[in-house]
Amino acid sequence: MTTNETPANVPEPAAGKGAPLLEVRDLHVEFHTRDGVVNAINGVNYSVSAGETLAVLGESGSGKSVTAQAIMGILDMPPGKIPKGEIFFRGDDMLRMSDEERRKIRGSKLAMIFQDALSALNPVLSVGYQLGEMFRVHQGLSRKDAKAKSIELMDRVRIPAAKARVNDYPHQFSGGMRQRIMIAMALALEPDLIIADEPTTALDVTVQAQIMDLLAELQREYNMGLILITHDLGVVADVADKIAVMYAGRIVENAPVHELYKRPAHPYTRGLLDSIPRLDQKGQELYAIKGLPPNLQHIPAGCAFNPRCTMAQDVCRTDVPVLHQVTERDGAELPGRGSACHFWKETIHG
Amino acid sequence: MSDTSGITSPSHSSPAGDYAAKEEVARQSGTAPQPSEPKKTQASSLWANAWRDLRRRPVFIVSGIIIVLLIVIAIAPSLFTSTNPKPGDLAHFMQKPKLGHFFEADWFGYDGQGRSIYARVIYGARASMTVGVFATLFVTVAGGLIGILAGYFGGWVDALLSRLTDIFFGIPLLLGSLVMLQAFTGRTAWTVALALGVLGWTQVARVMRGSVITVKQADYVQAARALGAGNGRIIFKHVLPNAIAPVIVVATIALGMYISAEATLSYMGIGIQNGISWGADISTASSQIRNSLHVLLFPAGFLTVTVLAFIMLGDAVRDALDPKLR
């Protein structure tokens, strides 16, 4: 091993944009169940700055949503537990704050958009009431003022005839409109950071594009940080600045968005990119990564991806790879790139 | 701003846009007289909306009228009859009802001791209503609170409260209240209601706990938490309204059960002392039904209608609290 393969445990310094808004350091989350301990997150590091979009990519069970829940502080504890790690928000470790301090941050500074707006909106309350709740909880506005603000918000996310629809219930809206309401709720207090947990997964493709555009536009307008959790590589490409790929509760690769698509430095990422259906491959069999994601109670020894990896060697079955700083062939560091693979050089440089 | 406004404008032919536009047309043509809109916006909390909806439901109107009437009877029985229900005149022994004699002493006939059944039914309402309504209120509040706390907080709170519930659940309602009421010397409708309530809350607590556990896991509860709502707001605005439907059903059924439990206790001679209640009259009548059905018919009929009215009310309230059924 050469000297430039130093373990990149600490996320890359935020270049130019000042101190990161949110910084997750060596986060571990485990769930204590009757059948044993499930290690959902095993040391995640990432950071987001204001105005920046980080896409967290991974398949089901890779820990992307659990990380988001840990950041928001809405993890059910027990059974969940955070044995190790730090989550800095504007320099303060949120895991050391009191419940009340965290509650004040939630919603006003840090907000979340959920995957399925139908189930994330309370069916017995009108959307106006639920939007207004944000102002009443955090700013103590009267019901009437809160309602006026709700109408304003609904206009901002372009819900037609907001004034007439403010008293309608969630089930009276279409899927896309409901997701707009979720976005409006998250935006209400102009937070510094929004976590969007698969915001378009429950929507059909045409509406997906509208919602992503709206989200990206509002992010620019308010200069917010955005963490976009998704398993859809197509959604990511247009809006994200950088990508973190998760597998079995770890970040296996991070990179600026276009570099990742061009030159993946981890076999898992490459497998993901190869399994996107492409028009020019019509009629051919679609590529799929062999095997299944690991059982988080029994994560394979060594690299968690080794049973499914085409490049696996003996070392992959014994040593857990650290996140290596990825470099060019000539040793020049690629900023913001890391790969947790023993053979990242072979992967990226062929 | 400009680059997406075309995509998201309502006139665009995307499915979402179409759907929203259609909804919009339906809404504007269907309802909503525009001038009254501002007034409506002010009070649109869950309960205000439910109330607005309830006022239009025939089931609610009918059951509401019956219940209000019964409450008036219970508070001021003398408005409905001038006959004293207690002294009997054996000259009237088991006289059949004279159905044409509205509001008179012999309207419903006389019982085995020559007392006016009409007067007794009217005066008996107070005891039955007091027992039924207050025992139900007690179990709903106490059981509901315990169920919410156990279900919402889980952990040791749940373990403790659930064991407490199990202990009380093991005591049979009638046998338990029989033993408890032995301890009271002057038994009134209130003591009977209290005894039934103390033993009866477990059912509501269990239903509420289960319901809260289901609702607590819903995304919108997590969403509310993620947006900064505290426990109190989450419990009362998000969990309770979604968890209350089964409790309302259980409570309205329990109300009928308590009125009949009071009847049973009176039958066993451990109910209300020196009082008149439908239950006591039903039990007295039960030995005479073979020759004089009317003695049983009127108190039992009032009991049935009362219980039915409360069950209908519960049904209507439950439906009104669910916007999808409105």
User: Which of A121, A161, A167 is the closest to B40 by Cβ?
Assistant: A167
Residue B262 pLDDT class (50, 70, 90 cuts):
confident
By the CB < 8 Å criterion, does A284 face chain B? no
Residue B112 pLDDT class (50, 70, 90 cuts):
confident
CB contact under 8 Å between B237 and A126, yes or no, is no
Interface test with B, best of A65, A125, A178 (most B CBs within 10 A): A125
What is the structure's pLDDT at B45? 64
By the CB < 8 Å criterion, does A140 face chain B? no
Is a pLDDT exceeding 50 seen at residue A13?
no
> Would strands A324-327 and A333-339 be described as parallel, antiparallel, or unpaired?
antiparallel
- Tell me the mean pLDDT in the region B296-311: 89
* B14 contact residues in A (CB cutoff 8 A): 176, 206-207, 210
Is a pLDDT exceeding 50 seen at residue A154?
yes
What is the structure's pLDDT at B285? 83
What is the structure's pLDDT at A9? 46
- pLDDT mean across residues, chain A: 82
More confident residue, B217 or B143: B143
How close does chain A come to B322, measured CA to CA in Å? 6
How many CA atoms lie less than 13 Å away from A298 in the CB half-sphere? 3
Is a pLDDT exceeding 60 seen at residue A236?
yes
**Considering the entire predicted model, what is its pTM?**
0.73
Residues B297, B315: Cα–Cα separation, whole Å: 26
Highest average pLDDT, of A233-242, A252-261, B258-267, comes from: A252-261
CB contact under 8 Å between B44 and A213, yes or no, is no
What is the structure's pLDDT at B93? 83
CB contact under 8 Å between B226 and A126, yes or no, is no
Is a pLDDT exceeding 50 seen at residue B4?
no
Residues B19, A112: Cα–Cα separation, whole Å: 26
How close does chain A come to B12, measured CA to CA in Å? 11
Tens digit of pLDDT for each residue in A318-349?
Answer: 888 888 888 888 877 788 888 888 888 777 77
Residue B150 pLDDT class (50, 70, 90 cuts):
very high
Is a pLDDT exceeding 80 seen at residue A240?
yes
CB contact under 8 Å between B44 and A158, yes or no, is no
- Tell me the mean pLDDT in the region B254-267: 82
Q: Judged by CB atoms within 8 Å, which residues 64-83 of A form the interface with B?
A: 72, 74, 78
Q: Show the CA angle centred on residue B18, arms to residues B16 and B21, nearest 5°.
A: 105
User: Which of A126, A174, A214 is the closest to B19 by Cβ?
Assistant: A174
B239 C-beta neighbours (distance < 10 Å), count: 26
By the CB < 8 Å criterion, does A102 face chain B? no
* Total count of residues recorded for chain A: 350
More confident residue, A291 or B158: B158
Is a pLDDT exceeding 70 seen at residue B36?
no
Token digits of residue A238: 């247009």
User: Which of A74, A123, A166 is the closest to B323 by Cβ?
Assistant: A123
What is the structure's pLDDT at B23? 42
Residue A104 pLDDT class (50, 70, 90 cuts):
confident
How close does chain A come to B131, measured CA to CA in Å? 32
What is the structure's pLDDT at B69? 94
Q: Which of A173-182, B45-54, B118-127 has the lowest mean pLDDT?
A: B45-54
What is the structure's pLDDT at B136? 93
* B317 contact residues in A (CB cutoff 8 A): none
- Tell me the mean pLDDT in the region B244-269: 83
**% pLDDT > 70, chain A:** 95
More confident residue, B268 or B190: B190
Is a pLDDT exceeding 90 seen at residue B68?
yes
For the sheet containing A22-33, what is the strand order?
Answer: A36-48, A22-33, A80-89, A92-93
Tens digit of pLDDT for each residue in B177-225?
Answer: 888 888 887 888 888 899 999 999 999 999 999 999 999 888 889 888 8
What is the structure's pLDDT at B37? 37
* B42 contact residues in A (CB cutoff 8 A): 143-144
What is the structure's pLDDT at B6? 39
Q: What ranges do the domains of chain A cover?
A: 264-350
CB contact under 8 Å between A143 and B3, yes or no, is no
How close does chain A come to B68, measured CA to CA in Å? 28
Residues B113, B71: Cα–Cα separation, whole Å: 27
CB contact under 8 Å between A134 and B228, yes or no, is yes
What is the structure's pLDDT at B12? 41
- pLDDT mean across residues, chain B: 80
Segment holding A236, helix H or strand E: helix A233-239
* A209 contact residues in B (CB cutoff 8 A): 7
Token digits of residue B55: 């006022």
Tell me the H-state helices in B91-154.
117-153
> Would strands A242-247 and A53-57 be described as parallel, antiparallel, or unpaired?
parallel
User: Which of B27, B229, B323 is the closest to A137 by Cβ?
Assistant: B229
Paired residues of B315 in beta bridges: none
* B32 contact residues in A (CB cutoff 8 A): 164
Token digits of residue B181: 């009421």
